[in-house]
Amino acid sequence: MTPRLAPDADDARFIRRVVILLVILALAAALFRARNLLILAFGSMLGAIVIHAIADLYRDHLRVPRKAALALGMATTLATLGFLGWLFGVAFREQVNLLIERTPVILDQFAAWLSRSAVGAKLVSAVQVAYAGSQAAQDISGLLRGAGEIALNALLLLVGAIFFAADPRVYERGVLLLVPPRHRPAFEDALFDVASTLRLWLRAQLIQMTTMGVLVGVGLWIAGVPSAAALGLLAGLSEFIPYVGPTAAMLPALGLAATKGGSPIIGTLATYAVVRLVQTNFITPIVTNRVISIPPAMTLFVIVGIGYVFGLFGLFFSAALLVVIFTLIRSLYLREVLGEDIPKAEHHKLFGPAPAADPRTSAD
């Protein structure tokens, strides 16, 4: 007897597509639930890139063997983090404590000053409502309750960076094995495009952070602002988050300047204005000439959006995540789908023999 309720070929195809869609939605929901862990994993990958960049310096300039150079790269990274911890915890401890004590008061005073006008009051209210419902607010409130979470996340990020740096090919091949074989060459090229672009971007960020911190610190010291060294260090680190970070770092500087009178406030505003002009017109064009150029408006809104969704750690890594997204669009869509003439990063093939040299290939 022929079954009368058995699905035909069209029904079976429809059911299969529905099941696949449900699996994709469930996977997306699981990834969203684990977004904090994913951001930490992304930060660990950035750390691994930094370690390998330092190791390459030892290997290229000092002729150190590969394994020894990698060990020196890890040691240098740990020493740098330890030095930053010493600066915040020992050398600038009093200045940092002053910043921590004064920052909530400064923000309250700034909000009260804005609220004197109707437009300012609405702006303050809108910012408070938006901030209260964001993931960043939950993260910051959690950090204020104790330092255990941030210490655990920092340790996880550091250990993950060391593991990624120890044998990156294992993880690279693992990612590519998830891609159908006929698409692997395109995804492999895109993967190394991302790594190359991130390395250039991190180098550019390091130069900009250093110059920003030194120039701001010297300018605030000349203006007579308290804790100029700590404020300069804070300004340099804040440069890792374009636009949002430096703006936030300027608020405590203005607040501390206000405790010394009107002249330090003018000096603080002049310092940040002059340093920003120097960064924008002289330093940034030179150090980012080989890195992809992302429109400023897109950078600002994407960074704010990533911070809103992923919270404090997402905000910290938002600029690097934007670089990854932008590079993947260029490599996978513009080059591989639309056929645009976009150069590839040089690399050793992970699957199969290396192809003939591509005249379009460059180190960019």
Note the pLDDT tens digit of each residue in 313-351.
Answer: 778 888 899 899 999 999 999 999 988 888 888 877 776
Q: Rounded mean pLDDT of 155-183?
A: 89
Tens digit of each residue's pLDDT (9 = 90 or more) over 233-251: 888 988 888 877 888 888 7
**What average pLDDT is seen over the chain?**
80
Residue 247 contacts residue 239 (beta carbons within 8 Å): no
Residue 183 to residues 168, 171, 179, 239, Cα–Cα distance (Å) = 21, 18, 6, 37
| 126 confidence band (pLDDT: 50, 70, 90) | low
Report which of residues 223 and 356 the model is more confident about.
223
**Mean per-residue pLDDT, 131-142:** 54
Q: What integer pLDDT is reported at residue 342 of this predicted model?
A: 86
Q: In the prediction, which pLDDT does 4 show? A: 63
Kindly indicate the confidence band of residue 255, based on its pLDDT and cuts at 50, 70 and 90. confident
Q: To which residue do tokens 């303050």 refer?
A: 124
Helix (H) or strand (E) holding 190: helix 184-223
**Would you state the structure tokens that stand for residue 121, as one six-digit string?**
């009051």
Distance separating the N- and C-terminal Cα atoms of the chain: 67
CB atoms under 10 Å from CB of 320, counted, come to 20
pLDDT surpassing 50 at residue 361: no
Cite the beta strand spans of the chain per DSSP E.
Answer: none
Higher pLDDT, 71 or 295: 71
pTM for this entry: 0.77
What pLDDT was estimated at residue 78? 92
CA neighbor of 238 nearest in space, from 217, 263, 213, 219: 213
**Which burial class, exposed, middle or buried, applies to 123 when counting CB atoms under 10 A from its CB (0-12, 13-18, 19+)?**
middle
Whole-number pLDDT of residue 358: 44
Residue 233 · residue 213 · CB < 8 Å? yes
For residues 335 and 174, the answer to whether their CB atoms sit within 8 Å is no
What sign for the dihedral angle of Cα 310, 316, 321, 326?
positive
Amino acid at 228: A
Amino acid (one-letter) located at 140:
I
Q: What are phi and psi of 196, to 5 degrees?
A: -65, -45
How far apart are the C-alpha atoms of 81 and 89, rounded to whole Å?
12
Percent of the chain clearing pLDDT 70 (strictly above): 82
| Residue 124 confidence (pLDDT) | 67
Structure confidence by residue, pLDDT tens digits, 54-104: 999 899 888 889 889 999 999 999 999 888 888 877 777 777 677 667 766
Please report the pLDDT score of residue 75 as a whole number.
Answer: 94
Neighbours of 55 (CB within 10 A): 23
**Taking every pair of C-alpha atoms in the chain, what is the biggest distance, in angstroms?**
96
Query: According to the model, what pLDDT value does residue 243 have?
Result: 79
The two tokens of residue 310 are: 């992923």
